[in-house]
Structures are given as C-alpha cells and as structure tokens.
Amino acid sequence: MKVGFVGLGIMGRPMALHLADAGHQLFVYGKRTVPEDVKAKGATICGTLREIAEAAEIVILMVPDTPDVEDVLFSADGIASGLSPGKVVVDMSSISPIATKEFARRINEKGCDYLDAPVSGGEVGAKAASLTIMVGGPEKAFERVKPLFEKMGKNITLVGGNGDGQTTKVANQIIVALTIEAVAEAMLFARRAGADPAKVRQALMGGFASSRILEVHGERMLKRNFDPGFRIELHEKDLSLALSGARSLGLALPNTAATQQLFHAAKSLGGAKWDHSGLLRVLETLAGGEK
Amino acid sequence: MKVGFVGLGIMGRPMALHLADAGHQLFVYGKRTVPEDVKAKGATICGTLREIAEAAEIVILMVPDTPDVEDVLFSADGIASGLSPGKVVVDMSSISPIATKEFARRINEKGCDYLDAPVSGGEVGAKAASLTIMVGGPEKAFERVKPLFEKMGKNITLVGGNGDGQTTKVANQIIVALTIEAVAEAMLFARRAGADPAKVRQALMGGFASSRILEVHGERMLKRNFDPGFRIELHEKDLSLALSGARSLGLALPNTAATQQLFHAAKSLGGAKWDHSGLLRVLETLAGGEK
C-alpha cells in the first residue's frame, strides 16, 4: 500500500521501517530530517505534508502531542489540505481523546476515515514490532489498516469509536503510574519498618497485590535499576492528558493528580529521564534519602 | 496440640474449627460468647485468659486491633500472666508492626516465642482454610506452629523477624487499596469520556496495567457488585495502620493518605460495609453521581 508516515522519531522510525520491510511504499516529509535508513528503503520524500496526503492511501502520524497532531493535519499545506475522499488518517500518537473526536470530525468532512491508534510498549516494542495498539474508529477503516498494524504490533484491539483508542491509552497510563506509585509506597514502608523488601514482594506475589508492575517495576526498585524503560517525563505528559481530560469532563482524579506532582518532583530531582519506577526515589527523598 | 484461641469472631471461629477438626485440643475463653459449634467440638472453656495460657502450648490471637492485642496479652489475668517458658504466642490479627516488636519483646522476657502471622483472604479464605499467612518471628517457632498454619491457610511465608509479618500485611493492604483506586479512576475516566469500560478493561488486561485487582475488582466495578468481599471499614483500618506506622517512621505516603480519605468519604456516603471496590462510587459522587 501507499503509506504516508509523519513523525520519524524514536518510535516512528522503527515502525516505518517495519512497513517498508513488508513491501509498503512510504511517503515521508522533510529533506534533511528523514533518517538515512528510511531513505535507503526507497521512501519518497515529499516537499510538503499536502503532497503526502495527495500520494498516499493511508497517512500515519506518530508525533509528540496534541498540538503537533493539529498542526500536521490542519496547518496550511497540512495533511487535510491534500486529502481526497476514501483515504484514512491514522493517528498513532498519544494525545487528548477529546481533541481526537474533533480532529476525526474534521477529517470525516473530507470524506475520509480517521483512526486513533495510540500504542504502548515503548521503543523496545516499536523495534520488536510488538506494540500494543488501542484503536478507536469505524470497523471498516480498522480492517483496512489492520495489515499495517500487524507489522508494527501484536496486541491490537478495536475498542470503539473515535477517541476510544486514546481514552484507553489514558486509562492504561493512569493505572500503570498509580500502581507503580503504590508499589513504591509499599516497598519504602517495608524497608523502613525493617523488613527485607525482596521477601515482602515475594510474599505478596501470589495474592491480590500481584500485578505486572509488582513483578517488573518492583524488581527494578529492588535492584535500583532506574534506566528507562519508560521515562518519567513521558509519563508525566500522559498524566497531564488524563488531568486535562478530567478537567473538561468535570472529574476529580485525586491520585492521578498527586502522582503527577510526584513526577514533577522527580524532574526537579534530576529524574526526567529515569524509568518511571524511579518514583521510589522521590518518596525516599521525602523520607530523608536512601537508607 | 493444646491450642489456646482468643477471638472467635468472623475470622477466628472458622479458623479455630479447622484446628479442632484436625484433632487439636482447644482452650477458649468467655462462657457466654463462645460459639455453639466451637463448644460442640469439645473446646475447654476457661474462666480467664490466664488459664488459657497455663493450659495451652500455643496461644493464637485473632482480635480486631492493636489495643485489643495489648489488652489480651498484658492486662491483669491476661495471657502473659499465665505463660511459662517454652510456649508460643501467635498473633494472627492485623495490627501495628511497630507495637508488635514491643509485644514480642515482652513475651520473649517470659521465655516464650512470639510470631506475628496476619492473614489475607477474608471470611471466605478462613472458611475454606485457604488464607495467605505472612509470618514474622524465629524460624524454630515458625516450624513448630506450621502444622497449625497449614490447617488454616495455603500460602504461608516466613518473611523475617518479629514485626515483618505485620509489615508485609500493611504493604499488601497499601498496594491493594491504591490499585483499586487506580482502576476506579481509570474506569471512571473511560466511561465519562464515552468509551465502553468493559472493552477498555479487556484491552488493558494483557499489558502493564494488568493485575489481579483489574481482573477481580475491575469486574466488580463493571457489574456494580459492591457486596463484600472485603469491607471498606476494614480496609480503612488497615490504611490507618500504614499511616500511623509511616508517622512513626518519618515517611510520607501521599497516595495511601489520599485513599484513606476516600475510604472516610465512602463511610459518610453509607459505604462502610461496601466492598472496597466501592471506592468507584466515591469518585462518581465527586463527579456528579453515577452517569
């Protein structure tokens, strides 16, 4: 298929390479910024985003945040300006579910389908083509794009209509952050009360406290391995999406808010690029340092 | 073995019955308050706690809170007054890890061993003899009492020295409460953002957000089944233990504190006896009610 790909960064680059390897024809943008290995796969370099939309059947976005998606889609000479009916825009960035519904509406007005398809699994998952992909949008468009998703990810779910993919990603990030924070509080309590946190974790693994987070991030805390993994600065952004969404919807998310504050504190402690399990260090700092 | 059992309530009664069924000789206290089925098993009813300690080799406590344990052990004519060297006191209540170390010290002065052995699994686990038992104390005493533990529970771990069993229980209760709260925030966000929370939960089950809580309590939230299970008023007590421990140890446990406040709110909303997954209702109330 003819696939436009906008956003060839840490995540986007390996994802685009998987599509090229599967024989899809890539259309990309930015003479100087396209990575050499993407050029080497024969990607067509377009002079404007508009040209990508004119040439490709399916346009994938993988950019940092909501304003970036808006800019790529709707600026002058942006993607929307080059669309014609029957094409599909697939936003794989992690952005606001509420803005997503508006973007989808405006793309639909061009006679095109929109899928929001954020991922989890990070750079490792992007490279291994093992991303989890949470999709919102029409089933027909989902089936059409699915062969591309299957080259980039493993656990691919159509959750519902437009916005629902982004909502699922936000829900995921809330649970992951708050569970890491919970494990950090418990591990800190155990150590300071004089117990061996490794034995405590072991005793908890079979019961109701058991989770992937206790398994993976609990072990990171024990080994004090805070190399990412998933960086605190990125998780902070995701909780910020949750909280601005909550504000629009009139919801109080007290522990999401508190945990975002701890992520802020981590950044002030030099931890923007720590793995998110480094939340433990913030709690330790509040308790007089590592002891 | 000759086993004293103090505290024949919702938990203690089925636990004591399992011991009697296994052929152990029970010594209990309180003419009017001993349940008929315990009497029917041939339990010896003692006139004072002191008499229990004089008659039994091993004395098990299963009472509500720290002051109750202190009272049973150290009041006039309490357990300690009847102990002679070589006996073992086993506190299966969920109480303060810090007070536990002091209680153990005072029991050791009598020439006796002390085990703290709190459980999780609730009334269902007590009846089914499938409790998780988290033990702190000397290994020799643990081995001696283990045959009794095995009649009451399944997942039995010696975590460390005295206090470490209670510390493990506190860590468990922190993680369970905060993970339930996390799932509740995510489910509420998903529903209010217009997604189907059942599909969102399903999409999250394979990834880093997966946990026993997302599985069991997430499903309770979807089905709005808030019959206990484990009651909010009991979990509130457990977080109170965590927070008073944290205070003594000089730790800040921000999300434990916030979650305890939500448990308080649940009680004010009539939810003292809801299952702890009823935290969702508190968040819904803050967001204008169930919608």
Q: What is the mean pLDDT of chain A?
A: 96
- Residue A261: closest CA among chain B residues belongs to which residue? B254
Say if the Cβ atoms of B164 and A200 lie within 8 Å: yes
Query: What is the mean pLDDT of the segment spanning A241-245?
Result: 96
Q: Model confidence over A199-209: pLDDT tens digits?
A: 999 999 988 99
Percent with pLDDT over 70 in chain B = 100
Strand-pairing partners, residue A88, are A58, A113
- Residue A289: closest CA among chain B residues belongs to which residue? B251
| Nearest neighbour of A196 by CB, restricted to B160, B181, B251 | B160
Nearest Cα of chain A lies from the Cα of B126 at a distance, in angstroms, of 15
Task: Return the half-sphere exposure (C-beta side, CA atoms, 13 A cut-off) of residue A80.
Answer: 18
Strands B113-116 and A88-91, sheet pairing: unpaired
Nearest Cα of chain A lies from the Cα of B118 at a distance, in angstroms, of 12
- Residue A157: closest CA among chain B residues belongs to which residue? B203
Say if the Cβ atoms of A194 and B253 lie within 8 Å: no
* pLDDT score of B31 more than 80: no
Per-residue DSSP letter, B160: E
Q: Which of B151, B169, B223, B237 is catalytic?
A: B169
Backbone angles phi, psi at A231, to 5 degrees: -80, 145
Query: What is the mean pLDDT of the segment spanning B34-62?
Result: 96
Say if the Cβ atoms of A185 and B174 lie within 8 Å: yes
* pLDDT score of B189 more than 90: yes
Catalytic residue IDs of A = 169
| Nearest neighbour of A174 by CB, restricted to B159, B189, B245 | B189
Number of CB pairs, chain A paired with chain B, less than 8 A apart: 264
Query: What is the mean pLDDT of the segment spanning B196-213?
Result: 94
Q: Model confidence over A3-44: pLDDT tens digits?
A: 999 999 999 999 999 999 999 999 999 877 899 999 999 999
Contact B116, B137 (CB under 8 A): yes
Decide: helix, strand or coil at residue A17. Answer: helix
Say if the Cβ atoms of A160 and B187 lie within 8 Å: no
- pLDDT given for residue B231 in this prediction: 93
- Residue B244: closest CA among chain A residues belongs to which residue? A189
Strand-pairing partners, residue B26, are B3
Say if the Cβ atoms of B189 and A164 lie within 8 Å: no
Contact A92, A62 (CB under 8 A): yes
- pLDDT given for residue A51 in this prediction: 97
Q: Which chain A residues are within 8 Å of B132, Cβ to Cβ?
A: 203, 206-207
Say if the Cβ atoms of A189 and B253 lie within 8 Å: yes
Mutate which: A178, A205, A286, vs B, most B CBs within 10 A? A178
- pLDDT given for residue B122 in this prediction: 86
- pLDDT given for residue B229 in this prediction: 86
Cα–Cα distances (Å) from B245 to A205, A281, B51, B97, B118, in that order, read 23, 20, 33, 7, 16
- pLDDT given for residue B108 in this prediction: 98
Backbone angles phi, psi at A272, to 5 degrees: -55, -35
Nearest Cα of chain B lies from the Cα of A238 at a distance, in angstroms, of 13
Tokens of B243: 């927070």
Q: Which chain A residues are within 8 Å of B160, Cβ to Cβ?
A: 194-196, 199
Q: Which chain B residues are within 8 Å of A137, Cβ to Cβ?
A: none
Phi-psi region at A9: left, alpha or beta (left = phi > 0; alpha = psi -120 to 50)? beta
Per-residue DSSP letter, A206: T
Q: What is the mean pLDDT of chain B?
A: 96
Q: Model confidence over B83-97: pLDDT tens digits?
A: 999 999 999 999 999
Q: Which chain A residues are within 8 Å of B287, Cβ to Cβ?
A: 249-252
Say if the Cβ atoms of A203 and B168 lie within 8 Å: yes
Query: What is the mean pLDDT of the segment spanning B272-284?
Result: 98
| Nearest neighbour of A195 by CB, restricted to B160, B176, B242 | B160
Say if the Cβ atoms of A171 and B120 lie within 8 Å: no
Provide the pLDDT confidence category of residue A85 given band limits of 50, 70 and 90: very high
Q: Using CA atoms, how far apart are residues B160 and B176, in angstroms rounded to an integer?
A: 22
- pLDDT given for residue A291 in this prediction: 80
Nearest Cα of chain B lies from the Cα of A97 at a distance, in angstroms, of 8
Nearest residue to A157 via CA among A131, A183, A129, A177? A131
- pLDDT given for residue B30 in this prediction: 80
Q: Model confidence over B119-177: pLDDT tens digits?
A: 998 888 999 999 999 999 999 999 999 999 999 999 999 999 999 999 999 999 999 99
Say if the Cβ atoms of B211 and A216 lie within 8 Å: no
Q: Which residue has the tokens 């009823």?
A: B278
Question: Lowest-pLDDT range, A186-195, A275-284, B118-127, B133-142?
Answer: B118-127
Q: Which chain B residues are within 8 Å of A190, Cβ to Cβ?
A: 167-168, 171
Say if the Cβ atoms of B206 and A97 lie within 8 Å: no
Say if the Cβ atoms of B204 and A171 lie within 8 Å: yes
- pLDDT given for residue B206 in this prediction: 80
Query: What is the mean pLDDT of the segment spanning A238-259?
Result: 97
Mutate which: A159, A176, A185, vs B, most B CBs within 10 A? A185
- pLDDT given for residue A11 in this prediction: 94
Say if the Cβ atoms of B259 and A255 lie within 8 Å: yes
Q: Model confidence over A34-74: pLDDT tens digits?
A: 999 999 999 999 999 999 999 999 999 999 999 999 999 99
Provide the pLDDT confidence category of residue B33 given band limits of 50, 70 and 90: confident
Q: Which chain B residues are within 8 Å of A250, Cβ to Cβ?
A: 192, 287-288
- pLDDT given for residue A175 in this prediction: 98
Contact B130, B154 (CB under 8 A): yes
Query: What is the mean pLDDT of the segment spanning B12-39?
Result: 94
Task: Return the half-sphere exposure (C-beta side, CA atoms, 13 A cut-off) of residue B94.
Answer: 23
Q: Which chain B residues are within 8 Å of A183, Cβ to Cβ?
A: 175
Nearest Cα of chain B lies from the Cα of A185 at a distance, in angstroms, of 6
| Nearest neighbour of B250 by CB, restricted to A183, A214, A287 | A287
Query: Of B229 and A260, which is predicted with more confidence?
Result: A260
Say if the Cβ atoms of B287 and A134 lie within 8 Å: no
Q: Using CA atoms, how far apart are residues A66 and A93, in angstroms rounded to an integer?
A: 8
In whole angstroms, what separates CA B140 from the centre of its chain? 24
Cα–Cα distances (Å) from B147 to A253, B11, B58, B140, B150, in that order, read 46, 19, 12, 13, 5
Q: Which chain A residues are within 8 Å of B204, Cβ to Cβ?
A: 168, 171-172, 175
- pLDDT given for residue B119 in this prediction: 95
Phi-psi region at B105: left, alpha or beta (left = phi > 0; alpha = psi -120 to 50)? alpha
